[in-house]
Structure 1
């Protein structure tokens, strides 16, 4: 009788182990594809979520842009930053089609350079254009080009008038007060910028801010200027 009980017990043990083995999940073997969605990106680095999931920053490269719409290549690949194309412009006002979609247009002019660093005004203006574009501000095409000499105050006034004629409501300009590396063994970067925003419709300066700071030894002047301008906007 004991042998019968023992045989029944062994039978149930074998059946139970078999069911446990069958319930164990099986993972794909080496070389089989895994489906990994992009990670949520709480960092300041663009597309860090794609990089965390796929090991590279861009899963889809930007399309080549043969259109006149800014960043159309990115819109085709990622669906941003512009979801609506510019309206067709049947008016005499330049860039009215952009204004209808994106709202008020901005223009960044070269900054007056009060430092001894050559082209500091041009460099700050170029950095500010990138900062504004990354934050969704709509910019008209440049009304200026880099020249051997820094622009004078009179030349900047003429550029302001040209920007207004091209449809810009807000003119962003100002001065570079400090743009250098400190003397000494460390040589940290030091930057000071004054930014003015002129409203052409109201005919007055609607914002006036000065940003200043110094960075670490490994930082460049451009990196520090970008950080300061990001805080200003």
Structure 2
């Protein structure tokens, strides 16, 4: 009685090793197969010894068809490889998505360490972010009350050719016309310069 389970296991292993059954439909025949079937079929005239005579033109045709079939097979294999190269990443992504839907977490990837992460870990404890914010631009500008920068039109470059003395004179004339004052005193300009950007920097006396 003890030999029965062993026999059953052997039969199951044999079934697992058997090839799949032959498909019920035959694949379409190639042109080479059709020609060879007609040339070597039972209805083809044969010699007394059973041989079949084939002329040189027919042999060349068979060789050409055989080479054409080989080229078609190579193209088919290349197409299958291209499809596999596109499908394999999709299968991997689908497997990761299924794992994410089941566990709620993305599978860990062995990503290499970047230079930024290594540098940040190396410099940890030596460099710290500032704890106080810098003052606003208005406060920084108020610390230099004697310098005023007037932005010019970038398309107009005529100020670059004007002497600084003429700029000071024109600016003072404009200030007198506007009656510009600071703490009861008239605003006067003592110097001017044209920056590389085309803007004009004025230096006031008060």
TM-score scaled by structure 2? 0.20
TM-score scaled by structure 1? 0.19
- Bigger fraction of residues in strand: 1
Query: Which has more radius of gyration?
Result: 2
